[in-house]
């Protein structure tokens, strides 16, 4: 982990881990959690739309990972400004599941939990046991910045989707990651290269890059799923969001659609034509990103945590930037500017907390522009709050991310299968993508292999299924 934003800090999203999987079989208590009146309750008013009891204690538990805990202390101070009578108990740990699972089982969880990190509590277990508060009331509450605007209307695209299970908004993913293809503007300007907007342009440029003695693409073989991201992004842009929804819903043949196969064939071409960096098969993400930052490769697929994660090795003036995944054709259903954007660092309000209303109010405070800007300043990460980073001093990479978001004009999208069925991406898609990039299988075989894995998940009665509308 780095001292600021980290790879894990943004990839954690709402995925569960095996270490906490036992909670799915525990009786954690909590019914369907629609009642926001659980626990302490105050008078509802325009100034207090969630009905917070002003002197009710609030307990907040933070994952002490790449983002640290100082940002949370600042948010707690903002909550205390609104409710000076409330005592706030703050704690931070890297062992979220080990620390809190017994408390969920006992029916005595905290009021707010940053359920993140390698030891996060399995979301499938929490959802199936009704242990989480439905945060719909938070979404419909007025924002702190503008009482005429609902909280839901201040969030970036994809935040509600990635935090929703069976139609209920159960997790606020506070950070926002934009995914795309990264390159050095300094290198491109020096060579007279322009970033390609279509796949034919990409292949043409790769030939020039290779001729210049530079590997066109770096990638991490250990985490080869990083390259599945542009494949699925290209497929979505070509065929539309329905391509992704079919994958999320484990529909038969979803991974074998024409759009997915065309995208897989495009990225398989990088391997066939020798446009991938030699030795990448054995590199982890840091090694691959270091090779790219040292100018040994021109492109790399990654999320918006890249700049901060690589700040120790990035040369001065490198001027990194992210751009949309190139369109496969000029007739793609989505625009070139469309990109995958999604949330991470999931915050939850346990249904059995003593101060559920205060927990939701704490999240409303976090979603104010003041709180979001403070977070970005402290940890070099964007938040889920639209426009909260405007006017802040950002590095070139994060500045390019904000431009990517603005240029998309709301056309960002995401997929949820990796949230619903983590092992499908982390194990099956990861392994198949490495085989694709090393030419052990071709694009059609990649589609077949991943589809077979998805079918196994669909047929497994032990795997809880989710439906994306």
DSSP character string of 117-169: STTPPPHHHHHHTT-B--THHHHHSBPSS-TTSBGGGGBPTTHHHHTEETTEE
Mark whether 382 and 451 lie in a shared domain.
no
Residues 93 and 134 in one domain: yes
Q: Is residue 411 part of a domain?
A: no
Question: Same domain for 328 and 362?
Answer: no
Asked if residue 37 has pLDDT above 50, the reply is: no
405 located within any domain: no
> Is 2 within a domain?
no
Of the pLDDT bands very low, low, confident and very high (cuts 50, 70, 90), residue 43 is very high
For residue 464, being part of any structural domain is answered with no
**304 domain-assigned:** yes
Torsion, Cα 219 223 227 230, to 10 degrees, reads -120
- 152 and 212, same domain (yes or no): no
Within a domain: 197: yes
For residue 181, list its beta bridge partners: 301, 323
Residues 327 and 369 reside in one and the same domain: no
What span, in angstroms and rounded, lies between the C-alpha atoms of 313 and 289?
A: 9
Give residue 302's pLDDT: 95
- Give the pLDDT band of residue 287 (cuts 50, 70, 90): very high
What CA–CA distance (Å, rounded) separates 14 from 120?
9
- Determine how many CB atoms are found less than 10 A away from the CB of residue 401: 29
Structure tokens at 27: 């009786």
Average pLDDT, the chain: 91
Cα separation, 345 vs 26, whole angstroms: 24
Q: Which whole number is the average pLDDT over 74-81?
A: 98
Question: Does residue 7 have a pLDDT over 80?
Answer: no
186 and 334 belong to one structural domain: yes
Question: What average pLDDT does this structure show over 373-399?
Answer: 93
Q: Burial letters for 415-429: b for 16+ Cβ neighbours within 10 Å, e otherwise?
A: bbbbbbbbbbbbebb
Are 350 and 38 in contact by the 8 Å Cβ rule? The answer is no
223 pLDDT exceeds 70?
yes
**pLDDT tens digits, one per residue of 205-222:** 999 999 999 999 999 999
Give the Cα-Cα-Cα angle 192, 194, 196 (nearest 5 degrees).
150
Q: What does the block give as tokens for 409?
A: 């004009």
pLDDT surpasses 80 at 35: no
Mean pLDDT of 240-264: 98
Pairing of strands 168-169, 164-165: antiparallel
83: domain CATH number?
Answer: 3.40.190.10
CA-to-CA distance for 336 and 166, rounded, in angstroms?
Answer: 31
- 306 membership: H or E segment, kind and range: helix 306-309
Beta carbons of 359 and 58 less than 8 angstroms apart: yes
298 vs 275: CA distance, rounded Å: 10
Please name the helix (run of DSSP H) or strand (run of DSSP E) that holds residue 105, with its range, or none: helix 96-106
Distance CA 67, CA 291 (A): 25
Residue 20 pLDDT exceeds 50: no
Model confidence over 171-192: pLDDT tens digits? Answer: 999 999 999 999 999 999 999 9
Q: Examine the domain organization and report whether 453 and 306 are in the same domain.
A: yes
Residue 358 in domain: yes
Rounded distance between C-alpha atoms, residue 275 and residue 210, angstroms: 7
* pLDDT for the residue 38: 64
Q: Are residues 258 and 245 in the same domain?
A: yes
Q: Comparing 73-82, 115-124, 327-336, 348-357, which segment has the lowest mean pLDDT?
A: 115-124
Distance CA 323, CA 333 (A): 18
Beta pairing, strands 164-165 & 88-93: unpaired
Mean pLDDT across the stretch 148-157?
95
**Over the stretch 339-359, which tens digit does the pLDDT of each residue have?**
999 998 999 999 999 999 999
Q: How many residues does the chain have?
A: 469
For the record, the structure tokens of 106 come out as 């006992």
Supply the pLDDT for residue 357. 98
Residue 462 pLDDT more than 80? yes
Q: Is 303:10 a contact under the CB 8 Å cutoff?
A: yes
> Do 173 and 185 share a domain, yes or no?
no
In a domain, 465, yes or no: no
pLDDT band for position 158 (cuts 50, 70, 90): confident
Same domain, 221 and 285: yes
CA 413 to chain centroid = 11
Nearest partner of 236 among 168, 158, 183, judged by Cα: 158
With bands split at pLDDT 50, 70 and 90, how would you rate the model's confidence at 5?
Answer: very low
Considering its fold, how many domains does the chain have in total?
A: 2
Give yes or no for residue 9 having a pLDDT over 60.
Answer: no
Q: Apex CA 113: angle with CA 112 and CA 114, to 5°?
A: 130
Cα dihedral 338, 446, 8, 100, rounded to 10, equals 110
Residue 360 shares a structural domain with residue 333: no
Phi then psi for residue 394, to 5 deg, are -115, 155
Give residue 421's domain range: 179-340+417-459
Q: Greater confidence, 423 or 214? A: 214
The reply to whether 422 and 293 lie within a common domain is yes
């Amino acid at each position: 982990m780095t001292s600021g934003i980290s790879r894990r800090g943004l990839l954690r999203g709402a995925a569960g881990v095996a270490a906490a999987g036992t909670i799915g079989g525990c009786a954690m208590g909590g019914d369907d959690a629609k009642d926001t009146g659980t626990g302490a309750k105050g008078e509802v008013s325009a100034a207090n739309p969630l009905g917070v009891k002003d002197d009710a204690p609030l307990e907040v538990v933070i994952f002490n990972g790449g983002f640290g805990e100082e940002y949370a202390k600042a948010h707690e101070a903002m909550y205390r400004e609104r409710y000076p009578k409330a005592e706030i108990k703050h704690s931070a740990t890297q062992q979220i599941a080990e620390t809190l699972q017994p408390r969920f089982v006992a029916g005595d969880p905290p009021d707010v939990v940053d359920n993140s990190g390698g030891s996060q509590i399995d979301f499938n277990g929490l959802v199936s046991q009704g242990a989480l508060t439905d945060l719909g009331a938070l979404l419909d509450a007025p924002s702190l910045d503008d009482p005429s605007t609902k909280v839901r209307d201040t969030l970036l695209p994809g935040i509600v989707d990635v935090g929703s299970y069976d139609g209920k908004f159960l997790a606020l993913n506070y950070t926002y990651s934009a995914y795309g293809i990264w390159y050095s503007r300094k290198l491109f300007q020096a060579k007279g290269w322009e970033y390609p907007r279509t796949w034919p342009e990409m292949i043409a440029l790769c030939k020039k890059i290779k001729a210049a003695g530079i590997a066109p693409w770096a990638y991490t073989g250990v985490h080869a799923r990083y390259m599945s991201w542009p494949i699925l992004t290209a497929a979505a842009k070509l065929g539309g969001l329905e391509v992704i929804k079919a994958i999320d819903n484990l529909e038969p043949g979803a991974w074998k659609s024409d759009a997915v196969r065309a995208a897989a064939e495009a990225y398989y071409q990088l391997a066939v034509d020798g446009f991938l960096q030699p030795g990448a098969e054995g590199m982890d993400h840091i090694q691959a990103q270091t090779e790219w930052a040292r100018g040994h490769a021109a492109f790399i697929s990654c999320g918006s945590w890249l700049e901060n994660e690589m700040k120790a090795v990035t040369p001065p003036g490198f001027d990194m930037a992210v751009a949309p995944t190139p369109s496969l054709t000029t007739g793609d259903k989505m625009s070139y500017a469309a990109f995958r954007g999604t949330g991470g660092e999931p915050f939850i309000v346990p249904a059995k907390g003593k101060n559920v209303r205060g927990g939701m109010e704490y999240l409303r405070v976090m979603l104010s522009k003041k709180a979001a800007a403070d977070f970005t300043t402290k940890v070099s990460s964007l938040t889920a709050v639209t426009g909260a980073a405007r006017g802040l001093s950002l590095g070139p990479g994060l500045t390019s991310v904000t431009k990517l978001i603005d240029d998309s004009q709301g056309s960002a999208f995401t997929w949820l299968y990796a949230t619903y069925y983590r092992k499908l991406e982390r194990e099956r898609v990861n392994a198949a993508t490495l085989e694709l990039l090393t030419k052990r299988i071709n694009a059609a075989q990649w589609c077949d292999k991943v589809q077979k894995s998805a079918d196994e998940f669909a047929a497994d009665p032990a795997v809880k299924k989710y439906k994306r509308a």
